[in-house]
């Protein structure tokens, strides 16, 4: 397939591009810069926020567009989320109207807001951050528009992403920085909350697999489907990386708006992965 990937040099994008290329697809990489993008990809200088109605033609009429581009994804209350929302929708609307029949879009568990337990494709959404609000609005608008067009929309809802930890803004990034600074203790909360963690390379495989298939559309959770305590995950990370640092539990209180346990229903993505050739 010919596949356009926006945000191709981003935290997830570079892994998705490599995964697609390894499966023999032709990849058109779209981003503001191309650091670390696999050299086998074709680089595009198309501006996805130009508003041009012929953006589909400019991107060489891909069979599938995987839309990962999103500014300030790690800053959940950045004003950029709402400022850029219309541009994202216009880009995707023009793709749909001009003939792109398969579009996979990166979603987030933050669309759901506070939730205790398992999140499936029908879980009601009440986002509590500008990031979640913007993603939720884009999902609703795109799915509504696609109803009147012959388009497969895959809304890929991610959870807690780990791996390549120097490039994100997680607790794992902060741990690496603290250890590098020579600190022996790391202030922490109770670590009892349980989350759905997935390595970015495994996530890239799920994104690629979900996008190229036709059986399942709409909301698809891309996740492990297994809740793991933050304490267990962080202790394992420290051991794996050989960090000479100790967690100081209870230094910070648990935030009252954080769910005690939240994870994705991976039923659909598990079925997809059964048919995906490694």
Q: Are residues 66 and 175 in the same domain?
A: no
Q: Supply the angle between the helices 171-180 and 230-241 in degrees, to the nearest 10.
A: 40
Query: Does 257 reside within a domain?
Result: no
Query: Does 254 reside within a domain?
Result: no
Query: Does 69 reside within a domain?
Result: yes
Q: What percent of the chain has pLDDT over 70?
A: 97
Q: Are residues 17 and 68 in the same domain?
A: yes
Name the DSSP letter for residue 261: B
In the sheet with 152-158, reading across from the earlier edge strand, the strands are: 42-44, 26-30, 2-6, 64-67, 102-108, 152-158, 218-222
Predicted local confidence at residue 253, as pLDDT: 85
Q: Are residues 83 and 169 in the same domain?
A: no
Query: Does 13 reside within a domain?
Result: yes
Average pLDDT, the chain: 94
- Full residue range of the structural domain in which residue 237 is found: 163-194+227-248
Q: Are residues 51 and 150 in the same domain?
A: yes
Q: Are residues 169 and 83 in the same domain?
A: no
Tell me what the mean pLDDT of segment 261-276 comes to: 96
> What does the alpha-carbon distance between residue 122 and residue 107 come to, in Å, rounded to a whole number?
14
Q: Are residues 75 and 167 in the same domain?
A: no
Predicted local confidence at residue 223, as pLDDT: 98
Tell me what the mean pLDDT of segment 197-218 comes to: 97
Q: Are residues 8 and 131 in the same domain?
A: yes
Query: Does 93 reside within a domain?
Result: yes
Tell me what the mean pLDDT of segment 208-216 comes to: 97
Tens digit of pLDDT for each residue in 236-264?
A: 999 998 999 999 998 888 777 678 999 99
Is 15 known to be catalytic?
no
Tokens for 25, please give them. Answer: 């697809």
This prediction has a pTM of 0.93
Residue 3 has pLDDT above 80, yes or no: yes
Q: Are residues 99 and 62 in the same domain?
A: yes
Q: Where do we find the tokens 């509590």?
A: 128
Q: Are residues 99 and 170 in the same domain?
A: no
Predicted local confidence at residue 166, as pLDDT: 67
Q: Are residues 173 and 122 in the same domain?
A: no
Beta bridge partners of 228: 195
Query: Does 65 reside within a domain?
Result: yes
More confident residue, 169 or 7: 7
From the list 11, 15, 34, 131, the catalytic residue is 131
Query: Does 235 reside within a domain?
Result: yes
Q: Are residues 60 and 188 in the same domain?
A: no
Q: Read off the pLDDT band of 35 (50, 70, 90).
A: confident
> What does the alpha-carbon distance between residue 35 and residue 13 come to, in Å, rounded to a whole number?
11
Tens digit of pLDDT for each residue in 154-176?
A: 999 999 999 876 676 688 888 98
Predicted local confidence at residue 259, as pLDDT: 85
Residue 51 has pLDDT above 80, yes or no: yes
Q: Where do the DSSP E strands lie in the chain?
A: 2-6, 26-30, 42-44, 64-67, 102-108, 117-119, 152-158, 160-162, 185-187, 194-199, 218-222, 227-229, 246-248, 262-264
Q: Are residues 14 and 51 in the same domain?
A: yes
Query: Does 87 reside within a domain?
Result: yes
The enclosing domain of 82 has a CATH number of 3.40.50.720
Domain tally for the chain?
2
């Amino acid at each position: 397939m010919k596949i356009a990937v926006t945000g191709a040099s981003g935290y997830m994008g570079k892994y998705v591009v490599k995964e697609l290329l390894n499966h023999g697809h032709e990849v058109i990489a779209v981003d503001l810069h191309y650091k670390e993008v696999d050299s086998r990809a074709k680089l595009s200088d198309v501006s996805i926020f130009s508003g041009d109605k012929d953006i589909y033609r400019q991107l060489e009429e891909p069979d599938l567009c995987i839309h990962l581009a999103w500014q300030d994804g790690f800053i959940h209350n950045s004003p950029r989320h709402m400022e850029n929302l219309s541009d994202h929708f216009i880009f995707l609307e023009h793709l749909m109207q001009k003939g792109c029949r398969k579009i996979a879009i990166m979603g987030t568990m933050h669309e759901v807001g506070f939730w205790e337990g398992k999140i499936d494709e029908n879980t009601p959404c009440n986002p509590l951050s500008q990031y979640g609000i913007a993603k939720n609005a884009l999902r609703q608008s795109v799915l509504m528009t696609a109803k009147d067009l012959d388009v497969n929309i895959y809304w890929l809802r991610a959870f807690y992403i780990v791996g390549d930890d120097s490039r994100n803004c997680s607790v794992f990034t902060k741990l690496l920085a603290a250890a590098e600074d020579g600190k022996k203790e790391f202030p922490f909360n109770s670590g009892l909350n349980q989350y759905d963690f997935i390595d970015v390379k495994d996530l890239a495989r799920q994104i690629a697999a979900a996008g190229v298939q036709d059986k399942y559309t709409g909301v698809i959770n891309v996740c492990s489907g297994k809740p793991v305590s933050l304490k267990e995950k962080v202790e394992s990370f420290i051991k794996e990386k050989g960090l000479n640092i100790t967690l100081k539990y209870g230094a910070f209180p648990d935030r009252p708006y954080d769910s005690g346990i939240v994870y994705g229903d991976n039923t659909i993505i598990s079925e997809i992965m059964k048919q995906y050739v490694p």
